[in-house]
Structure 1
Amino acid sequence: MALIMSGIMSMVISLFNIGWVDNILAIWLKAWMLAFLVAFPTITVVVPVVRYLVSFIVASDKNS
């Protein structure tokens, strides 16, 4: 998930900021590496928190 999302988002943001230039592939790959280095640890931390919150909300909804 982190790999695909960081790849898509880095390409969109790169194209939005600089447009379609000659070396867009090199620029995008550099941006993708950085984005993945941020995305993977973020997902590792955030997913368990979100799962807990969802289970808490669903469980409290069943008790109502």
Structure 2
Amino acid sequence: MKIRARYAHLVFSFLMSSLMAFIMTAVVTAINTGLAGDFVGRWAHAFLLAWMPAFACVLVLAPPIRKWVNARTVQD
């Protein structure tokens, strides 16, 4: 499947924020409340709350961070 260039940043932001929120909320939920009981329900709730701000952050912050890193990167 090919993605049109104009949608690449949107798709990247969606995937990056989804994976980041998925992993981080699982880890933090497990640390704070344990794996027993209704872990999946607590984790899903945390994920749903965390994903939207994560998506917004990646969508807004990735381009300037990429630009900053590229400006300071040299070829080996």
Aligned to 2:22: 7
Measured against aligned partners, the alpha-carbon deviations of 1:1-53 in whole angstroms (never above 9, x if no partner) come to 11011001000000000112211111000000111011000001110011110
The structure where helix makes up a greater share of residues is 1
CA distance in 1 between counterparts of 2:69 and 2:40 reads 39
Pair 1:18-2:17 in alignment: no
- TM-score of the pair, normalised by structure 2: 0.71
What's the C-alpha RMSD, in Å, of the aligned pairs? 1.4
Q: Which runs of 4+ in 1 moved over 3 A?
A: none
Partner of 2:63, secondary structure, is helix
Where structure 1 has 5 or more consecutive residues not aligned to the other structure, the ranges are none
May I ask how many residue pairs the two structures share in their alignment?
60
- TM-score of the pair, normalised by structure 1: 0.83
Where structure 2 has 5 or more consecutive residues not aligned to the other structure, the ranges are 1-15
Tell me the amino acid that sits aligned with residue 20 of structure 2.
M
- Post-superposition offset of 1:55: 2.1
The share of aligned pairs that are identical, in percent, is 28
CA distance in 2 between counterparts of 1:24 and 1:54 reads 38
Pair 1:29-2:27 in alignment: no
